[in-house]
Structure formats: C-alpha cells, structure tokens
C-alpha cells in the first residue's frame, strides 16, 4: 500500500480498502454521495477515501488522438475505511450502492498489494505522507541497511515524500515511510 496509507494503517489497524458494488454507470454518483455523507454524518474518522478506479486510454476519433478516462472496474468503487456497524451502514445505504464485495455482513478488504497495484495503475500512487519533522530533527530509520540507526535530517522534499538524513557522517536519501520521529 502507499507509504502514507501504510503509516495510517499502523495507527488504525482496522483500516483497509474495500470494494463496493454499485449500479453500473453510477460509480461517480456513488463517490460524490459517499463524500457528501462522510462530511454530513461526521464519518471522516472512519471513512477516509473513495476512489473510482480509472485509467487513461487513447482513443482515435476523426483521425485525432484523444485521452479519455476508462473505468477499470465498471460497477465498483474502492472505499478506504474502518468497518464497524455504523460505517458499514452509511456506505451500504448510500444511494447507488448495492453492497460490499464479501459476505453481506462482513466485507472482505483488498490486500495491501492489491490496493497498491490498483492505485498505482491509476497514476494515483501514494499520496505523500506527512511527517512532523524539520531539518535538524533526529529520526530513527525503520527499514533498510541502516535500520534502527538514528540520524539528523539535512533536507526535506515534501513533494516527493523524501528526505536526506545524515547517519554517522553518511548522507542517506530516504522515504518518509522509512523513518520515525523520536
């Protein structure tokens, strides 16, 4: 899963991407309805993101190339959420939704690898994670060759979700997901 999503899942272990079945052609309406309900039902702490998986496809019409979005899974919408009785009810009873993929009362989440593959194919790779640190802060590295080492941040590229860390006088380029603030 996306780096940010993986970090957020550590904080919310029940959080996962679920597949919601919709009436064919209603995917965008379901997305809009769900996003509206997230705010009106105060569900932003349980329902985080709604995505209609699309890929750009090149069409040639009248001799001209045109890039158009094509639904990857017509009749389906992905919802990033923590499922409990209330959040399940809100999504299940959204206009245009016919149900979750999985058993009626127990939806089955996508694996992190499946969700990452779908989001990446859409060009929506990971949203850049937020890391509450500044240049000069000390961080612990949590993966790779320098796992469990600490280092000092020398540069941050929030746009790319990357930072430079100086570990024992060695500059290292790391992703936000590879460090934790200490």
At the top level of CATH, the class of 3-121 is alpha beta
Cα 50 to Cα 17: distance, rounded to the nearest angstrom: 9
Confidence (pLDDT) at 5: 47
Confidence (pLDDT) at 138: 93
Confidence (pLDDT) at 1: 41
Cα 35 to Cα 164: distance, rounded to the nearest angstrom: 36
- 151 - beta bridge partners? 139
Per-residue pLDDT of the chain (182 residues; tens, 9 = 90+): 445 544 444 456 689 999 999 998 999 999 999 999 988 888 888 999 999 988 888 888 888 888 888 888 899 999 999 999 899 999 999 999 999 998 777 899 998 888 888 887 776 554 445 667 889 999 998 877 788 899 999 988 776 678 889 988 888 888 787 888 88
As a residue count, the chain comes to: 182
Q: Is 89 helix (H, G, I), strand (E, B) or coil?
A: helix
Give CA separation, 2 vs 21, 24, 104, 143, 163, in Å.
23, 28, 28, 16, 17
Confidence (pLDDT) at 127: 45
Residue 171 corresponds to which tokens in the numbers above? 């500059």
Q: Are 98 and 76 in contact, with CB atoms under 8 Å apart?
A: no
| Domain segments of the chain as ranges | 3-121, 138-181
May I ask the CATH architecture of the domain 138-181? Roll (2.30)
Cα 14 to Cα 34: distance, rounded to the nearest angstrom: 19
From 160, 75, 36, select the one nearest 173 (Cα to Cα): 160
């Amino acid at each position: 899963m996306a780096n940010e999503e993986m970090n957020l899942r550590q904080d919310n272990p029940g959080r996962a991407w679920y597949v919601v079945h919709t009436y064919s052609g209603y995917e965008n309406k379901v997305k809009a309805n769900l996003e509206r309900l997230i705010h009106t039902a105060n569900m932003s702490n349980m329902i985080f993101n709604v995505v209609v998986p699309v890929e750009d496809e090149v069409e040639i019409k009248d001799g001209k190339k045109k890039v158009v979005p094509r639904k990857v899974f017509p009749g389906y919408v992905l919802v990033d959420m923590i499922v409990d009785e209330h959040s399940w009810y809100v999504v299940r009873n959204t206009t245009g939704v016919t149900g979750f993929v999985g058993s009626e009362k127990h939806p089955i989440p996508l694996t992190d690898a499946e969700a990452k593959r779908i989001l990446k194919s859409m060009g929506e790779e990971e949203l850049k994670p937020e890391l509450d640190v500044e240049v000069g802060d000390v961080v612990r590295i949590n993966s790779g060759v320098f796992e469990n080492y600490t280092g000092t941040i020398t540069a941050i590229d929030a746009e790319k979700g990357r930072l430079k860390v100086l570990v024992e006088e060695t500059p290292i380029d790391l992703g936000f997901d590879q460090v934790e603030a200490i």
